[in-house]
Structure 1
């Protein structure tokens, strides 16, 4: 089990934080309810996302089913890749970043697969109930992903001379997301930033192995 401890621990922590935060929001807030954490810049704003990350949607019921199945296949692939990387002693930083991506994908799959079966529907007027009489609001793989993190850091208006959007209001950062989305984003960004280091070390290790084979 050597080499698995840190990735498994990281995945477990991300999943726990993600699911605990989603359960709390689902059971204690109504749709579109929000409250301030730090002024107007850090908000908890409850929405449900039937599609992709950061509030994007994908093609109705069949699109939803396709996306859920695709997520499951992707997670299986990432999980196998993570096992292979640990077994073959890839760069530890790279492994942890892949573990972040795996945990984030798993977190959103749990919502899609099971939330529709275990929760009643959230509405602007009513909080959800866990294990309601008569069953949940959707079938297996048709649940909605819970989003709640909102950081509208900058609000302003485009100048009149600005092409296309002159005079219109804008907000940065407008998407509403969750801990799982954040884990995926951080993992991908870290891999992009440090890819030369990760793959350079891997190339050096492979070169050393090949040299040892030739000398033998």
Structure 2
């Protein structure tokens, strides 16, 4: 039941994020904050769509390329599919210099994560909120005290 609970939690979370985004303009949110929230919302919704439908329309593809609409049916029922990660951009791949302590001469790949567009949207939205829009969430009392 873990996957079902996770899928239902995602649906509730995206619904709450959507409701919050709907209310943001009336609270005086900046356009940048609303765009950041929309990125988080879109990424989360994309991951829900992946997990809801990919199991129905693709076969299990751990060791081979997935087949769309296989004759035997998909690998999982509705809401039990997996999110598909498909992007991989190693920034450096090679051997480290011998003179480097501990890791010298060893094969190294910098930036190994495999991710999807939805993950990137969520990450960019969250980082943007944390870096540029934190002041929107601070208490008004704190802001008034800082002015005095």
Report the TM range for the smaller structure's normalisation: 0.7 to 0.9
Instruction: Give the distance between the partners of 1:73 and 1:166, measured in 2 at CA.
Output: 48
Q: Equivalent of 1:189, from 100, 105, 127?
A: 127
Match of 1:100 in 2: 39
TM-score of the superposition, structure 1-length normalised?
0.55
Match of 2:13 in 1: 74
Instruction: Give the distance between the partners of 1:169 and 1:67, measured in 2 at CA.
Output: 37
Q: Quick one: structure 1 residues 115 and 125, their matched pair in 2 at CA, closer, same or farther if it must change by over 3 Å?
A: closer
User: Residues 1-216 of structure 1 correspond to what in structure 2 (within 5 A)?
Assistant: 62-130=1-69, 132-155=70-93, 156-157=95-96, 161-162=101-102, 168-196=106-134, 198=136
Unaligned runs of 5+ in 2: none
CA positional deviation for 1:74 = 1.4
Q: Is the 8 A contact 1:102 1:184 kept in 2?
A: yes
Q: Quick one: structure 1 residues 196 and 118, their matched pair in 2 at CA, closer, same or farther if it must change by over 3 Å?
A: closer
Instruction: Give the distance between the partners of 1:180 and 1:188, measured in 2 at CA.
Output: 12
TM-score of the superposition, structure 2-length normalised?
0.77
Instruction: Give the distance between the partners of 2:101 and 2:65, measured in 1 at CA.
Output: 45
Instruction: Give the distance between the partners of 2:16 and 2:39, measured in 1 at CA.
Output: 14
Q: Which has the higher strand share?
A: 1
- Shifted more, 184-193 versus 149-158: the winner is 149-158
Unaligned runs of 5+ in 1: 1-61, 208-216
Aligned residues: 140
Match of 1:35 in 2: none
CA positional deviation for 1:198 = 4.4
